[in-house]
Amino acid sequence: MVTNETTKTKEGLFRFGLVANLKQGVFLKELHRVIEGAVEELPTSQELRAIADDAETIYLNASGYPKDRDGSRVTESTSKFIAFNTGYQTLDGEDVYGWFEKEDNGVFVGVNWNTLGEIRAYASVQKFQLKSFKMGKFYFKDLDDCNAFLEDLAKKTIDEDWNYKKKPSKISAPILRSYIQTLFSKLEKERESGEPDKIIKNKDGSHIIFNTNLLDRFFNDEYIIAEVKKIDDTQEVYINPVRVSKDSGSELIKYGFSRNVAPKPPKFFENVNEVIFHPEYYIEKSYDSLTHIIEQRIDRFPEEQKGKTSDNLANKLYNAIDYALAIAQRNYKYIVPIYYPRFDTISFIMPIFLERSYKKRPDFALVLQNIPPVLDRDGKVVEEGYYVARTILDLEDGYQDARVIAKPDESWLNPGEIK
Lowest mean pLDDT among 65-79, 169-183, 366-380: 366-380
Residue 259 located in a structural domain = no
Residue 128 located in a structural domain = no
Q: What is the C-alpha separation between 307 and 17, in angstroms, rounded?
A: 39
Q: What is the C-alpha separation between 371 and 346, in angstroms, rounded?
A: 9
User: Do residues 412 and 296 share a domain?
Assistant: yes
Residue 127 located in a structural domain = no
411 or 115, greater pLDDT: 115
User: Do residues 286 and 225 share a domain?
Assistant: no
- In this predicted structure, the answer to whether residue 126 has a pLDDT above a threshold of 80 is no
Mean pLDDT, the chain, whole residue set: 88
Cβ-contact 191, 199 below 8 angstroms? yes
User: Do residues 216 and 327 share a domain?
Assistant: no
Residues linked to residue 239 through DSSP beta bridges, in sequence order: 139, 227
Identify the CA nearest to 111 among candidates 195, 55, 182: 55
Q: Last residue of a domain, which of 254, 284, 303?
A: 254
Q: Last residue of a domain, which of 210, 228, 254?
A: 254
What confidence tier does 132 reach under pLDDT thresholds 50, 70, 90? low
Residue 133 located in a structural domain = no
8-state DSSP, 376: -
User: Do residues 284 and 247 share a domain?
Assistant: no
Q: Last residue of a domain, which of 226, 254, 282?
A: 254
User: Do residues 367 and 283 share a domain?
Assistant: yes
pLDDT of residue 6: 43
Where in the sequence is the domain holding 80, given as residue range(s)?
12-120
pLDDT tens, position by position, 226-282: 999 876 666 788 988 999 998 888 899 999 999 999 999 999 988 888 899 999 999
Residue 291 located in a structural domain = yes
127 or 409, greater pLDDT: 409
User: Do residues 89 and 178 share a domain?
Assistant: no
pLDDT tens, position by position, 156-213: 998 788 988 878 888 999 999 999 999 999 999 999 888 889 999 999 999 999 999 9
Give the number of residues written for the chain: 419
> What does DSSP say about strands 374-375 and 381-383: parallel, antiparallel, or unpaired?
antiparallel
Using DSSP, state whether 91 is helix, strand or coil.
coil
pLDDT of residue 255: 93
User: Do residues 276 and 413 share a domain?
Assistant: yes
Q: How many independent structural domains does the chain possess?
A: 3
Residue 2 located in a structural domain = no
pLDDT tens, position by position, 324-342: 999 999 998 899 999 877 7
- In this predicted structure, the answer to whether residue 374 has a pLDDT above a threshold of 90 is no
Q: What is the C-alpha separation between 73 and 114, in angstroms, rounded?
A: 21
Instruction: Tell whether omega for the bond before 111 is within 30 degrees of 0, i.e. cis.
Output: yes
Q: What is the C-alpha separation between 149 and 417, in angstroms, rounded?
A: 27
User: Do residues 115 and 143 share a domain?
Assistant: no
User: Do residues 289 and 399 share a domain?
Assistant: yes
Residue 125 located in a structural domain = no
User: Do residues 345 and 302 share a domain?
Assistant: yes
Angle between helices 45-54 and 26-35 (to 10 degrees): 80
User: Do residues 287 and 371 share a domain?
Assistant: yes
- In this predicted structure, the answer to whether residue 3 has a pLDDT above a threshold of 50 is no
Residues 6+ apart with CB under 8 A from 368: 283, 335, 347, 348, 349, 350, 387, 388, 389, 390
Q: What is the C-alpha separation between 416 and 412, in angstroms, rounded?
A: 10
Identify the CA nearest to 364 among candidates 326, 401, 407: 401
User: Do residues 94 and 143 share a domain?
Assistant: no
- Which ranges of 55-135 does DSSP label H, i.e. alpha helix? 116-127
Residue 160 located in a structural domain = yes
Q: What is the C-alpha separation between 216 and 238, in angstroms, rounded?
A: 23
